[in-house]
Amino acid sequence: MGRFVDKIILHCSASDLPNQDAALIDQWHRARGFAKIGYHYFITTAGQTQKGRSHDEIGAHCEGENAHSLGICLAGLASFHDAQFDALRVLLTQLKPLYPKATVHPHNEFPSAKRQGKICPVFDVQPYIQLYVQSTLERTKGEKLWNFKTFIGLLSTIFLRFFKRS
């Protein structure tokens, strides 16, 4: 994963067609002239996370942001399912160690989406932004605790060696 990623952008497929999957989105995107599916991940209504582009590939999901972002799309427009949100939580938790400084954003937050009149995603992304921030705080606390334990261990070793010589 050599590509710099500082944003994870959430989308919805803007369709309630049944049985959507990454292959269908790939067809839609190719019909629009893309080389392949524009997202890095697609989450079906059943909560299955499917790979789109690799992390090393620049996405085609948010004009002006593609070069330094990952795109995640959830199937749906008017209805979403708990399984999808569960899968999104898991995926974000898996991505966090890979991109610890990345931030999570809704697609509709960006100027290019606003210019195009996009309202995607049409679900509340705030809990997922909080999840990503929270996993950073927990990881940071864990790292500090680990560093403190390492320091105490090192100090103990030095102390014991000093007193063994005396």
Q: Is residue 1 part of a domain?
A: no
Q: What is the pLDDT of residue 12?
A: 95
User: Is residue 53 scored above 80 in pLDDT?
Assistant: yes
Q: Is residue 96 part of a domain?
A: yes
Q: Is residue 104 part of a domain?
A: yes
> Phi/psi at 79 (nearest 5 deg)?
-135, 135
**Tally of domains within the chain:** 1
Q: Is residue 107 part of a domain?
A: yes
- pTM of the prediction? 0.79
Q: With bands split at pLDDT 50, 70 and 90, how would you rate the model's confidence at 141?
A: very low
User: Is residue 140 scored above 80 in pLDDT?
Assistant: no
Specify the CATH number for the domain of residue 61: 3.40.80.10
Query: Contact, 111 vs 64, CB < 8 A?
Result: yes
Owner of token pair 């079906």? 44
Q: Is residue 52 part of a domain?
A: yes
Q: Is the dihedral of CA 56, 58, 60, 63 positive or negative?
A: positive
* Alpha carbon distances (Å) from 40 to 67, 78, 113: 12, 22, 18
Q: Which domain holds residue 94?
A: 7-165
For residue 9, list its beta bridge partners.
71, 105
pLDDT tens-digit profile of 64-89? 999 999 999 999 998 899 999 999 99
Residue 112 has a CB neighbour count (10 Å cut-off) of: 13
Q: What is the pLDDT of residue 142?
A: 42
Q: Is residue 91 part of a domain?
A: yes
Q: Terminal CA-to-CA distance of the chain, rounded, Å?
A: 52
Q: Is residue 2 part of a domain?
A: no
* Alpha carbon distances (Å) from 109 to 3, 73, 75: 23, 15, 19
pLDDT tens-digit profile of 5-37? 999 999 999 999 999 999 999 999 999 999 999
User: Is residue 144 scored above 70 in pLDDT?
Assistant: no
